[in-house]
């Protein structure tokens, strides 16, 4: 049962990461040149931030699994002991 919890947390985190990534994509498509601004002002760190934005779905899935571990850790441990 704990894998169902972890899968659900990963799924929700992935969907939230995709939604945030789409917000940045739509922002760029609407004419606000967010990517060019990051590259001009921050240089290498701007490129690093852009890579993190591209990795948001994967990071969201990992954070969702970690959140489930902390939220339902006691229930998942009781299930294993019982």
Q: Is the pLDDT of residue 76 over 80?
A: no
Q: How sure is the predictor about 80, in pLDDT bands with cuts at 50, 70 and 90?
A: low
Domain range for 57: 2-81
More confident position, 47 or 77: 47
Residues in Cβ contact with 19 at an 8 Å cutoff, skipping those fewer than 6 apart: none
Q: Number of structural domains, the chain?
A: 1
Q: Please compute the mean of the pLDDT values over residues 59-68 and round it to a whole number.
A: 93
The Cα–Cα gap between 5 and 69 comes to 9
In tens, the pLDDT along 4-56 reads 888 999 999 999 999 999 998 888 888 887 777 878 888 888 888 888 888 99
pLDDT, position 65: 92
């Amino acid at each position: 049962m704990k894998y169902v919890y972890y899968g659900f947390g990963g799924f929700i985190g992935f969907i939230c990461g995709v939604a945030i990534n789409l917000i940045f994509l739509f922002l760029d498509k609407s004419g606000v040149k967010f990517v060019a601004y990051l590259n001009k002002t921050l240089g290498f760190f701007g490129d690093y931030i852009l890579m993190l934005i591209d990795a948001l779905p994967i990071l969201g899935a990992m954070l969702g699994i970690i959140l489930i571990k902390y939220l339902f850790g006691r229930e998942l441990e009781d299930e294993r002991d019982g």
